Structure 1
């Protein structure tokens, strides 16, 4: 075992040059933008690339190097893996497994927890973990409805296991692929397909055992299953019925015109006329005397409407869930109204938009009744609030509209396990193609880049993925993030910034055991990946880790592995990783719930992963 006391003798920190200071300034500014997110992080990454090229005399990054991230094997491989994951998703394989779990283990809360943890962690090693979690959210909701166990007890563990499952193989996460590319460039040692599978299995089992035992008691029940959707979204005080009097200015106007010119926070959810119930689309429906309007509004706006607009409170003004879900023999099935929860995907382009700028009601033929953002439910001024990833919308919509939401990658529909258009007959083909891609790369017959691109061709040729789905299946924000950050790692090496940071670490770590320094790199990377992108933490930390290892006489590859594993453990905040954001609203979590469950696990994994690296690789 190496102790730094001996090796650090004579080690000095080299002087800070103008080039190093410029790089540190760019990194500092980038970190501020990553944390504050005044613009999306992929735009920040492209901005970093542009600045590096413009400041070439100091950054040593010319135009060819700057845009080289777009042609990097890591970027292209990640792009290909998105398409391969889409083939599995479109086949409905995971949904079928989820339906089986709901039927087989639905009567045992502990068994269902083990089943969902196993499914989430096991599949994330071979397909992108974002669609895995997207598919599992409705599965968990269906199981929760059957057993009465709160989805809060299941969804965060599902997200954590999906992250850890990504460490089973090279293709488990984009972070692994990027780390392999950086390792190949700096050490001439890329990762093989199953380079760290043995340690990945240990990490996954450790996380699973923790989440199935200790984690069960640390995670609170934020959503109670005995709540109906109306009560769960605290809608009781925000839904009411009013009757239109003959002297009301609403008479003769369309529903859209009634509220268009009024400065009130209200929506007309339903129009009841005699025995008929009219729901979306309502905009062009003309209001008559005696109509009963179901309003979503607060008390102050309601009083303003009643006083000024010729409306009377209905004798029984309480609105039930049954009233908002219409089931009538006279109404065609696709026109029946339902209440449904819809989660906004982290990949959705509508993030940052408002319901008003999106013209959401008319665009989607659905009425938003409330927004759940973590543990907070929003009712007031919803139209003016920017939408965020992970927001859960309570919608009133027809079955046809809900089906459209189910088919839209920008949304995850809660409680809907099946979709009518899954290509279940393609399941064997989709599995075979992914297995072929993995086998060709694992046996060194073809590089992973080539086999993955061949997998795209096979997916389209066999009909597992339609040609028009290839581009929509790619999370382009990840692609631009990778392309923008790769030249930053190059600049850190060329200017000596990584070497300078490594020398500072070595000088201040005198007397520490090498294993302690390895664990410190793991823990520090795990902490910063919670506030910046996991890909950004890999680009920033691997060059420093390699230079530090070389300075103390340790194996640089072991330090690369520590950074790579740590970058996939963003468990302390909901913003650390996109799957955490996806379950934030559906689980009704508070921001601190992630730290409550994730901090002990993070410490356990620091020890387990560090010792595992020491055992399996030379340090």
Structure 2
């Protein structure tokens, strides 16, 4: 067994700290990765990673390719191709749940092999939730299979997911053998076929229907006791003032009798939001109108009964009979007011911030009515809610403002009216502009050039970016905005960790340990053990971190066990790309967590049998193609 050096102990200590930060998310994962990079360079005498080598990850072929593929994916997404395809599938399936599920997982799986699987899921989520509402199907029955299918499809080609590209880079460094465009395809095809078969049979039975099929957001989020209507009396102090100037912090009506403010965050605050003003049959968005309130105006407000009573007493308002305030009441067709559902994604600018601090109401005329976090729905004291990845927000918003929330990286739309998704054809299905074939042609050319070996994938992808911008598919600004820079920093920051493990002998030490444990096992069993260990780790921390940690360990284990390193590294690649058993391990799982109303354990319930099934399929396929 290789000796454990002081440098290896230092690197293992850094790994332990990094893993703790990844799990607790005390720092964002990308910042944790940069902290690792800095620590490795500062501790060079122990880690063997000089400063220049520590930052070399930013020029890694994997990182450059991922940047380019984000942009190419955005170009394809902008064509509306996925929306159009989804509309066609909806028409073909006729609302039958089994056929619709088959169409969703089949289309998503194949698409994710050529367009990064994260944007594919982002486009499909609102499509699936819309179809669920239309046909009376619980969206929960479709959203988890959607995510799993995208993960399965990501194993088809080199560009299906960022971890494939990273594993290829590691393979080039450790074994001198990077992946080609279709190296993974002979294994990816049976993995996809078996996975889809499982999702359509056993998985379909195991996926729970957490969210009932409904077209009314107020019912879905249980808002019945938290919405009310009040009429403005003649003597109300609100008369002659707009809602904003009357009730905002510092407004003329803000002080209450004891001199405290009715303002966000104040202990004496009345937790009520005015959502809408109805006057003579006309509905006005409270946040978007500057009309002064008048006697007889009817205010629709969000708040529990106690808060609404205090609000009515304070401002001399008459409570109307407690009739249900449904979605139709809160939708304002004259001013493009809508209710929508949106998820806080892993790259959101809202992460770790409270709703009160972000103040979406004043910045985007958008009011948060409720927050769903797993099984829990939060409807009160929303300003103090600190947002986490996977939270689903119920919003009242002008249709023309929501695009800003998406474009500026706040939220990802998961459900809402058709006007939020662009214009469709007369029969209600999305239209496909002929110009869509330009980015598709560019993407096909990039894949063909890389597959033929005429140009390295990162050069071909960068050339494709230039072609898309030159063709007018994307602007240069939109191209830069399409890149998930936190993923780039995560990748570049963690890459030198693998170098340090190699330089200090840490990989060899762990490899010897694993080889000793697996010494009594045949090579096939060793592959299966590495697959399960890697998949479990990837389900707890990020798949990117798992590739960096497990790739050099798997190669060292193979050397110690006397088996070929390349098939072992391929096993690790498939394991990190198919981490099904938690919502936090893979981005697409987290994206559907809130909209599907899932419990944390639902992922293990559906994903664990699939993980074990694919362990067998992947092990046998890899061993058949690359003899050990």
2:413 maps to which residue?
412
Task: Determine the structure 2 residue equivalent to 1:171.
Answer: 159
> Are 2:327 and 1:321 aligned?
yes
Query: CA separation in 1, counterparts of 2:398 and 2:458?
Result: 44
Structure 1 residue 269 and structure 2 residue 275: aligned?
Answer: yes
1:346 to 2:346 alignment? yes
Aligned partner of 1:212 in structure 2 is: 200
Note if contact 1:102-1:142 (Cα within 8 Å) is conserved in structure 2: no
Contact 2:156 2:189 in 1 (8 A): yes
Give the structure 2 partner of residue 293 of structure 1: 299
Query: Aligned to 2:621, which of 597, 612, 615?
Result: 612
Question: Which residue in the other structure is 1:367 paired with?
Answer: 367
When residues 439 and 241 of structure 1 are mapped into structure 2, their CA distance, relative to the original with a 3 A threshold, is same
Q: Does residue 43 of the first structure (1) align with residue 28 of the second (2)?
A: no
User: Could you say which residue in structure 2 is the equivalent of 1:258?
Assistant: 247
Moved >6 Å (runs of 4+): none
Q: CA deviation at 1:404?
A: 4.9
TM-score by length of 1: 0.93
Shift of 1:389: 2.8
The Cα shift of 1:534 comes to: 0.5
| Residue 85 (structure 1) aligns with | 73
CA separation of 1:313 and 1:187: change in aligned 2, threshold 3 A = same
Shift of 1:226: 3.8
Is 1:144 the equivalent of 2:153?
no
Q: CA deviation at 1:142?
A: 2.2
Aligned residues: 601
CA distance in 1, matches of 2:608, 2:236: 59
Distance across 2 between alignment mates of 1:229 and 1:468: 35
Q: Equivalents in 2 of 1:562, 1:119: separation in Å?
A: 25
Distance in 2 of aligned mates of 1:161 and 1:318: 39
Report what 2:499 is aligned to: 490
Find the counterpart in structure 2 of residue 10 from structure 1. none
Match of 1:55 in 2: 43
The answer as to whether partners of 1:218 and 1:596 remain within 8 angstroms in 2 is: yes
Structure 1 position 247, deviation (Å): 4.2
Q: 1:440, CA displacement in angstroms? A: 0.8
| Unaligned 5+ runs, structure 1 | 1-12
The structural deviation recorded for 1:224 is 1.3
2:233 aligned with 1:245: yes
Q: Which moved more, 1:361-370 or 1:548-557?
A: 361-370
Q: Secondary structure at the match of 1:38?
A: coil
Give the Cα separation in 1 of the matches to 2:324 and 2:128: 31
CA gap 1:337/1:259 in 2 versus in 1, 3 angstroms: same
Structure 1 residue 415 displacement after superposition? 4.6
Q: Deviations over 1:4-55 (max 9, x none)?
A: xxxxxxxxx3332211110000000000000000111001000000000111
Task: Identify the residue that residue 258 of structure 2 maps to in structure 1.
Answer: none
Counterparts of 2:13 and 2:557, CA distance in 1: 21
Return 474-483 or 339-348, whichever deviates more. Answer: 339-348
Matches within 5 A, 1:200-599: 200-226=188-214, 228-256=216-244, 257-258=246-247, 260=249, 261-262=261-262, 263-282=269-288, 284-327=290-333, 331=334, 335-402=335-402, 404=404, 410-415=411-416, 418-420=421-423, 424-599=433-608
Cα deviation, residue 405, structure 1: 5.2
For residues 35-88 of structure 1, give each alpha carbon's deviation from its aligned partner in whole angstroms, at most 9, with x where no partner exists.
000111001000000000111110111110111111111111111111110110
The 2-side partners of 1:385 and 1:303 are apart by 23
CA contact (8 A) 1:42 1:478 kept: yes
Q: Secondary structure at the match of 1:154?
A: helix
Q: How far apart are the structure 1 equivalents of 2:344 and 2:435? A: 28
The question of 1:161 aligning with 2:164 is answered no
Structure 1: distance between partners of 2:586 and 2:499: 25
User: TM-score when scaled to structure 2?
Assistant: 0.92
Equivalent residue number for residue 611 of structure 2? 602
CA deviation after TM superposition for structure 1 residue 308, in Å:
3.4
Distance 2:406 2:543 in 1: 28
Conserved? CA contact 1:106–1:146, under 8 Å: no
Aligned to 1:18: 6
Q: Please identify, of 484-493 and 603-612, the stretch whose mean Cα deviation from structure 2 is larger.
A: 603-612
CA distance in 2, matches of 1:284, 1:383: 24
Call closer, same or farther: CA 1:221–1:202 in 2, change over 3 Å.
same
Describe the SS at the equivalent of 1:370.
strand
Over aligned residues, Cα RMSD in angstroms?
Answer: 1.9
